[in-house]
Amino acid sequence: MSEDITHDESGKSLGQVEKQFFTFAEPPNEMVLDSGARLGPITLAYETYGTLNRDKSNVVLVCHALTGDSHAAGYYSDADDKPGWWDNMIGPGKAIDTDKYFVICSNVLGGCMGSTGPGSVNPETGRPWGMDFPFVTIGDMVRAQKALMDHLGIKKILSMTGGSMGGMQVLQWCVQYPEMVHSAIPMATTMRHSALAIAFNEVARQAIIADPNWNNGDYYGGKKPNLGLSVARMIGHITYLSDEAMRRKFGRQLQDKNDLSYQFDVDFQVESYLRHQGAKFVERFDANSFIYITKAADYFDLTRFENANSAIRVFSKAMARFMVVSFTSDWLYPTYQSREMVQAMKKSGLDVSFCEVEAEWGHDAFLLPNRRLTDLVRGFIDSVYQDAK
C-alpha cells in the first residue's frame, strides 16, 4: 500500500449523527424543473455537523457522488460498524473541521436515501412514481439544495466540495448561484461527460432495463430487478478503480481454490469482489434512481449553461475562489479534463489553483484517506476562512 494512503490519525469521529428531512414545493408552488415539468412536494434528506456560527459565515456544503447519500460522516447508532462515506475527511480536527465549520450534506433530488425520487409516492396516484417521475438534471438537484439553504437561513457558503457527480454539483452551484459561493473544491470531476463515460452509464442502464423484474420501472411491491442493478454496479465499480489498483488488490489470485474450475463459476478473486459489490448495492439502492441519476450526469454540460456555449463564458459568471483536484490514475475523469476546466477558469479571471494528486487507486481515490489530499483541503478551507474574517 502506498505511503500516502493512510488513515488520518488526527481528529476524532463525530459520533452519533441524525438524518433530517426538509419538505418544500408544496402544490400549487411546485418546483419547475429544467425539463419544464413541475414537481412537488419535494423532500430532501440531509445531515449537518458542527455548529453554525452567529453570522452564518462558516458553512461548508458537501455534495455526494452518484450513489452516495446525505450520510457523509459519523454513525447513526452505537451498533453501526460503518461510518459516513467521507468520515476520514469530516469531523473534529479533521480536514473539514467540525470544530470550526458547519457542514451540510443532502441526498440529491431523484435519489433513494430519503429524498424524493422515482421510488417516492406520487401524490396524484398514491403509488410509487416509477418511470412517471419527471426527468431531473444536475441543475435541478442544485435548485433543490438552494431551497434547503434558504430554509436554513444561509445566504453565503464559505466553501463547497464534492467528487465525481458531487463535483458537477459544485461547478453548477458556482455558475447558477455565484453570489452565494465564496470558494469551491471540485474533485475528480468534469465539465461534461466524455463518450466513454456516457457509454459505461448506458450499458449499466441497459443491464437494469433487460432484467425481466424491471417491468418498465413498475416493480415496487414485487420482485425487484436485483440482477440488473447488481450488474450495473459491477460495471460502474470497474470504472472507479484503476489497472494498478486491481493488480495490487487482486492480480490473478484464485478465490478459495487451488486450481481453475473449468466451469463458469467464480474462479478469480476479482470476480468474487465484483459480485459482492453488486450484491451489497442492491440492498441499499433503487434501480430507477440509478437510471435517473446516471442520465442526469450524462446530460450535464456546464459549457451549455444558459446557452453560454463556451467554458470561458460560463465561468465568467462565477465569483468563487477555486481549488481543482484531479488524481493521476483516474481514467473515468482524467486529469486533462480538469486542466481544461482550470484553463477556462484562468481565462475568465478567476482565482484558481490546481493539484494533480498522485494516487494509484483510480477514480475512487477522492474517497480514500490520502495525506496529500487531506492537507490540501484543510489548507484551502482554513485559508479561505481566515481571509473571509
Q: Distance between CA atoms of 151 and 23, rounded to whole angstroms?
A: 10
Contact 266, 272 (CB under 8 A): yes
Residue 328: exposed, middle, or buried by beta-carbon count in 10 A (0-12, 13-18, 19+)?
middle
* Contact residues for 283 (Cβ-Cβ < 8 A; gap 6+): none
Specify the residue for cell string 471540485: 186
- Report which of 279, 292, 298, 295 is spatially closest to residue 130, judged by C-alpha positions: 292
Task: Let me know if 164 is a catalytic residue.
Answer: yes
Q: Is the peptide bond before 369 cis (omega within 30 degrees of 0)?
A: no
Say whether 363 is catalytic.
Answer: yes
Q: Which SS3 state, helix, strand or coil, does residue 218 take?
A: coil
Calpha distance 268→208 (Å, rounded): 25
Is it true that the peptide bond before 178 is cis, omega within 30 degrees of 0? no
Q: Are 296 and 288 in contact, with CB atoms under 8 Å apart?
A: no
Catalytic residue among 70, 106, 159, 164: 164
Greatest pairwise CA separation for the chain in angstroms: 67
- Specify the pairing of strand 59-63 against strand 159-163: parallel
Q: Catalytic: 330?
A: yes
Q: Active site residue: 4, 267, 330, 364, which one?
A: 330
| 242/222 Cα distance (integer angstroms) | 37
| CA 205/CA 50 separation, integer angstroms | 38
CB 104 within 8 A of CB 152: yes
C-alpha cell at 273: 469482489
Select which of 64, 71, 182, 363 is catalytic: 363
Grid coordinates standing for 204?
449499466
Q: Which residues are part of the catalytic machinery?
A: 164, 330, 363
